[in-house]
Structure 1
Amino acid sequence: MDRRHLLQLAAATATTLWLPRSAWSQPKFTSNPFTLGVASGSPTHDSVVLWTRLVVPGGALTEAATVRWEVARDEAFKDIVKSGQSQALPELGHSVHAEVGGLEPDRWYFYRFFAGDERSPVGRTRTFPAPDAMATRLRLAYASCQRWEHGYFTAYRHMLNEQLDAVLFLGDYIYEYPGAKDAVRPVPGGWVLTLDDYRRRYELHKSEPELQAMHAACPWIVTWDDHEVQNDYAGLHVGENGPEVKDFPARRAAAYQAFYEHMPLRSSVLTQAVAGLRQGAETRIYGELRFGRLASFYVLDDRQYRDLHACTKDGKPGSSSVDVASCPLLADPKRTLLGAPQEAWLDQAFARAGQGWNIITQQTLFAPRVAPTPDKTIVWNDGWDGYPAARQRLVDSLRKRELRNAVLLGGDVHENWVGHVKADFAEAKSPNVAVEFCGTSITSRSGGNDKMAERLARNPHFVFADGERKGYGVCEFTPKRMSTALRVVSDVTKKDAGIETLASFVVEAGVPKIERA
């Protein structure tokens, strides 16, 4: 689809309609089309995006459908405060992104959809406090990396009990692989390459009841990583694994459209890139959200605008471990992970930041993680270690803007890492400028705890690491402190897996130092 046409359609369908019943598009449904559930996201102090997508067996729904929605103060929908209609168009996979404004700040709402005679499950969402409000508590979970064939999404069943205000999802919502021989459960279909392929893979993941329930419980704030397109892709550069695709930008565009179709995002993310940018058509998912005066979120995108990996082994696409001494390109000051426009935006956002908690939500591990080799400095070139000059620019921005209470949250590495962000990582006594909590995966496998003690010894800015357990993190913010609990399930291969707290930490406001709770 023409990019401008896609943007026009998305903007039109996000707008509330008031059509007479005779003008509604009303296909006849032989089964409930709301099998993917409901979701909400992109919350502000007075608005939220309500999401669903109509799906019928065999993909038989080919025409537009009018979807009605209601927002109420109560679960019984006796006190309805907003209602409207949206068009679910085949060009956008019959997805619905109702951008509901005019809501009261800092309160919970219930919502539901109707299509024909069918009704969706009820969802629960909330608005954030007004920007100048003195909010006293924010409780959220951060999660990433949910590979279907590696296990069950049992973690979300336990997350439901955490009494959260929001979920931060930090990338790898789906995986593009055809499956694995040692799969816990099979993945239907082969490699994910086309728009229809991506749609079917999202349908698979969203069929998990525990994930649907968590989406319906509170608003989500989302970003992506590589597997929403292809493993280790970089900007418009192809990643690794899978069959050759002659037109990778077209594949990426299809993947980005599918991401939009399945996430509670505003239509404004489907923007046109600034003229002259090499990236072409842009899907802008980076941005800023405020939770009163207590916290600000800076949601980053480290995939769409990055430079190609440096010194990948044998010149192949994708990532690899790299010996820093034999790769001078790593130190090139021009190399970027976020792209110059996003870096400039982030620096300006830091400049206007308040005195509350400043939560930087991004995809991966930020602080250096050098492999435990005695005579070489080996790093992985897909994360921030592959772009050290870009990392230092972000650190310098934190210092220049004197950003208080900076917290970096990440995922991607399938392991829990907890540590400090230093002004100069090469100097052990360098001051801390931020704290970091990089989370494990929902299911995706990792290498385990092999040599973990040696890895921590080689990277003393980290205070804790675990490479075995899977789950999510829970952060609670108050004006005085931040507390974090690493919540892990007993076995992702078991549907009835239990949950426990692996470790807990506290950070006092104004003091970028992590203490074990």
Structure 2
Amino acid sequence: MAAAAHLLYRRSFLVTTGLAVGTAAVLPAGAGTADAATRRRGRTPAVDPFTLGVASGDPDHEGFVLWTRLATEPLAEDGLGGMPSVSFPVEWQVAADPRFRKIVRRGVAEARPEWAHSVHVELRGLKPDRDYWYRFRVAGYVSPVGRTRTAPHPDTFGPALAMAFVSCSQYEHGYFTAYRRLAEEHPDLVLHLGDYQYEYKPGVYTIPDGNVRDHEGPETVTLANYRQRHAQYKSDPDLQAAHAAAPWLVVFDDHEVENNWAGDVPEAKTDTPDPAEFAERRAAAFRAYYENMPLRRGSVPRGPNVQIYRRVRWGRLATFHMLDTRQFRDDQACGDGYRECSAASDPTRSITGERQERWLLDGFRRSTARWDIIGQQVFFAQRDRDAGPAKVTSMDAWDGYTASRDRITKGWVDAGVRNPVVLTGDVHAHWAGELKLNYDDPTSPTVGTELVCTSITSGGDGADSDPASHPFLQINPHLKFYNNQRGYVLTRIGKKEMRADFKTLPTVGSRDAEASTKATFVIEDRVPGLNQTYLRPYVDGLESRGMRDPGEETVRSETQRP
């Protein structure tokens, strides 16, 4: 933008918002109107451009990333959100209080058309272990206010961490009420473990009672398609509320590109695949993903490649190892579904790729954290669906890459990781289980814990269920809990224990559904495995699994101690 236009914008900003250096007017989100002369020159959006909300992410002890994206027509087919092909200076503010009486940082960032008018601001030099509030302004328009937080200093534990994790939000299958309920929990941190958006055109991925609402546009293949789809999801007020409630750590799974893709292999296996065609689709998907997520500049994609695996430290309390189990994996063996497949144990096959595996194992060896938390996409523990001698497992999970799983599990054991916990999405159901070096021996020591969150909406309502009667739990004694409703997992991580509340909603067909706690598990410091607190009505099924009715007490799994 030319200097004169920038000065005009700056004057318009100061006049219309009442903001002067060192002071701040308290304005509600969306307040103010743009300078009329500037608007006539086409340099200011004609309507409020903050239709996609705000977000923050990837916090450390002195900063975080702030995000917004300007869009006056979010569902525009060209993916550019109705914005003209010019850059807009966007002023941002960070305050120590929600009413912005004490502004601690401010600046101006360019929202450029080549990046779909997205804004990423990386902040440093803030105080550790603090809540902050932020907002953006363009001319007279004011964004919603978001709350974010810095991590504790690396030498301190800080208070207990309230962390929620989620996955799988298919827009067509229901309302994002679970996101709203999550925001009401006031977490300090949110992890999204993949399938943030889905690629299908309307009517392709349907649930038995019919989809609640429709996708806009065709199947996402081009950059314009992906930008439009992300904008449709970001337009949802419940998702906006969850983003504004806390900083997020995000990783993608398959649907951010295409169902069941693996490395450079698309879902459709044809006789004459065109690698360049899928590479172009990946490049479009990754660019749109970065444009719409609060990611640091290290995750700016380079064509069909993006650096998404990374490590985030929360003081001495926890280290989050965020993985990428799509971009570097070998293709699924024996197809994508449940199979008896000898190739699944091939030691040359990997779900992470060699470089990422070395990075993860090195992180284990160097870790001094109380809790090492692996945020990743697909089921980690063994899930055998055959009660007989055959082993029938999912090829689209770590069961399809057993040597890779064994190397990583042995890696944290050999490194003496104090408390390894794997967090998982993908499977549209709540699960909790104990991790083994040898899943075929029920007496094998437990060496870690896996917590799996259900979907936000994917699959529709699902159904309530007695976990004790689920066949997978009967065949796989290391699996301890299952529920097939929608929701999220809320954890509280302290120095002595990690508590996980499995939250469920009775329906995703209503925006008013309330969340309740279906079950609670506690992982004790230095005691791998699960302490189980079951909530009624499931106590009747406990006896069949060799457990007594705990009421409000805690029941220790017999196999949790090594």
TM-score, normalised with respect to structure 1? 0.89
Q: Do the aligned residues in 1 keep the contact of 2:54 with 2:144 (CA within 8 Å)?
A: yes
Match of residue 184 from structure 1: 212
Match of residue 236 from structure 2: 208
**Residues of 2 paired with 1:344 and 1:303: CA distance?**
16
SS at match of 1:485: strand
Match of residue 172 from structure 2: 149
**Residues of 1 paired with 2:133 and 2:327: CA distance?**
34
SS at match of 2:168: coil
SS at match of 2:527: coil
Return the offset for 1:200: 0.8
Match of residue 256 from structure 1: 286
Match of residue 363 from structure 1: 377
**Residues of 2 paired with 1:304 and 1:405: CA distance?**
27
Q: Do the aligned residues in 2 keep the contact of 1:168 with 1:220 (CA within 8 Å)?
A: yes
* 2:48 maps to which of 4, 20, 32: 32
Residues 376 and 107 of structure 1: CA distance in aligned 2, closer, same or farther (over 3 Å): same
Residues 241 and 497 of structure 1: CA distance in aligned 2, closer, same or farther (over 3 Å): farther
**Residues of 2 paired with 1:361 and 1:346: CA distance?**
12
Return the offset for 1:282: 2.8
Match of residue 158 from structure 1: 181
1:172 maps onto 2:234 in alignment: no
Match of residue 110 from structure 2: 87
Match of residue 227 from structure 2: 199
1:484 maps onto 2:500 in alignment: yes
Match of residue 246 from structure 2: 218
Q: Do the aligned residues in 1 keep the contact of 2:135 with 2:143 (CA within 8 Å)?
A: yes
- Alpha-carbon deviations, 1:337-388, whole Å to 9, x = none? 0011100000111011114011111012100101145353211101111111
Match of residue 102 from structure 1: 125
- Alpha-carbon deviations, 1:121-175, whole Å to 9, x = none? 1111110001001323011100000001110000122112212101010000000
**Residues of 1 paired with 2:215 and 2:247: CA distance?**
28
**Residues of 1 paired with 2:472 and 2:239: CA distance?**
33
SS at match of 2:107: strand
1:129 maps onto 2:156 in alignment: no
Return the offset for 1:240: 4.3
Identity of aligned residues (%): 42
**Residues of 1 paired with 2:236 and 2:470: CA distance?**
36
Q: Tell me which amino acid in the other structure corresponds to 2:318.
A: A
Runs of 4+ deviating beyond 3 Å = 22-26, 372-375, 446-452
How many residue pairs were aligned? Answer: 483
- For the pair shown, the structure with the greater C-alpha radius of gyration is 2
Structure 2 counterparts to residues 114-513 of structure 1, below 5 A: 114-180=137-203, 182-240=210-268, 247-270=277-300, 282-312=305-335, 319-324=336-341, 328-374=342-388, 376-445=390-459, 453-466=470-483, 468-513=484-529
TM-score, normalised with respect to structure 2? 0.82
Question: Which 10-residue stretch deviates more, 65-74 or 263-272?
Answer: 263-272
SS at match of 1:512: strand
**Residues of 1 paired with 2:56 and 2:290: CA distance?**
13
Structure 2: segments with no counterpart, 5+ residues: 11-37, 77-81, 534-562
- Alpha-carbon deviations, 1:217-242, whole Å to 9, x = none? 11001111000000000011101499
Question: Which 10-residue stretch deviates more, 100-109 or 425-434?
Answer: 425-434
Q: Do the aligned residues in 2 keep the contact of 1:330 with 1:386 (CA within 8 Å)?
A: yes
Q: Do the aligned residues in 2 keep the contact of 1:55 with 1:61 (CA within 8 Å)?
A: no
* 1:113 maps to which of 136, 139, 144: 136
Question: Which 10-residue stretch deviates more, 450-459 or 504-513?
Answer: 450-459
Return the offset for 1:496: 1.1
Residues 42 and 506 of structure 1: CA distance in aligned 2, closer, same or farther (over 3 Å): same
**Residues of 2 paired with 1:424 and 1:391: CA distance?**
11
Q: Do the aligned residues in 1 keep the contact of 2:447 with 2:529 (CA within 8 Å)?
A: no
Question: Which 10-residue stretch deviates more, 55-64 or 345-354?
Answer: 55-64
Q: Tell me which amino acid in the other structure corresponds to 1:398.
A: W
Q: Do the aligned residues in 2 keep the contact of 1:372 with 1:454 (CA within 8 Å)?
A: no
Match of residue 516 from structure 1: 532
**Residues of 1 paired with 2:140 and 2:345: CA distance?**
61
Q: Do the aligned residues in 1 keep the contact of 2:286 with 2:304 (CA within 8 Å)?
A: no
SS at match of 1:247: helix
- Alpha-carbon deviations, 1:426-483, whole Å to 9, x = none? 22111111111011000001776699522111111111112x2100001101111111
Q: Do the aligned residues in 2 keep the contact of 1:27 with 1:116 (CA within 8 Å)?
A: no
**Residues of 2 paired with 1:413 and 1:120: CA distance?**
35
Q: Do the aligned residues in 2 keep the contact of 1:231 with 1:241 (CA within 8 Å)?
A: no
SS at match of 1:34: coil
Q: Do the aligned residues in 1 keep the contact of 2:70 with 2:83 (CA within 8 Å)?
A: no
Q: Do the aligned residues in 2 keep the contact of 1:126 with 1:218 (CA within 8 Å)?
A: yes
